[in-house]
A and B are shown apart, each in its own frame.
Chain A
Amino acid sequence: NAGVMQNPRHLVRRRGQEARLRCSPMKGHSHVYWYRQLPEEGLKFMVYLQKENIIDESGMPKERFSAEFPKEGPSILRIQQVVRGDSAAYFCASSPTRYNEQFFGPGTRLTVL
């Protein structure tokens, strides 16, 4: 039973480019959470999605960031016009229902040059 998968594992972008981060939840999990970890800090919640719906996006920056979890395919976290401050590790977690433990993927480490 494969765990949560994220790709790419490492992503380098220049300022102003777009970054797309993908997350495939564990089999049977329909709830996806995105967290961001800045260097030397703890994880901060960004957004919680269920298939085709955004449940809670209270942690998402107001501009340039968006997330989706379509009926088919992985969840996508999209960052437009990246800036150096976006450099961080982005973790995805999934759970089978809202009330179960979240399982974390390996993360995508984004570096903005």
Chain B
Amino acid sequence: ELKVEQNPLFLSMQEGKNYTIYCNYSTTSDRLYWYRQDPGKSLESLFVLLSNGAVKQEGRLMASLDTKARLSTLHITAAVHDLSATYFCAVDMEYGNKLVFGAGTILRVKS
């Protein structure tokens, strides 16, 4: 059974600092997604990572994928308060059949 583990589960950061969220998964996968969720809201797609070595950047967020290590990272650069949200990684195990989500990382950026 595919397991997806995120860490940390809770992250309190000061504005302007850098940090990384990690996402490990237990079996081979076709693709990996990162989502953002604000309280009471739906999921906003941030990144889709399709292949080993993939790196994507949008603003202060950068995501990477290492399929050999079964690891994805979401790096936050110079955090700002607006980045406060819950971040999920999700793995597409059976090529479009279903997504398996990590537990989520609650990010709080303090000014």
Contact = CB atoms under 8 A, between A and B. Distances in A.
Given A42-B88, A43-B88, A101-B48, A106 B99 contact: no
A45 B45 contact: no
Contacts of B96: 31, 95, 97-100
Interface string A13-57: 000000000000000000101010000011111001000000110
Contacts, number: 51
A106 B98 contact: no
Interface residues of A, number: 27
Given A41-B103, A42-B103, A101-B48, A106 B97 contact: no
Interface residues of B, number: 19
A60 to B, nearest CB: 12
Given A42-B88, A43-B88, A98 B42 contact: no
A104 B99 CA distance: 12
Contacts of A107: 42
Contact of A33 (B48, B88, B98): B98
Contact of A106 (B41, B45, B88, B101): B41
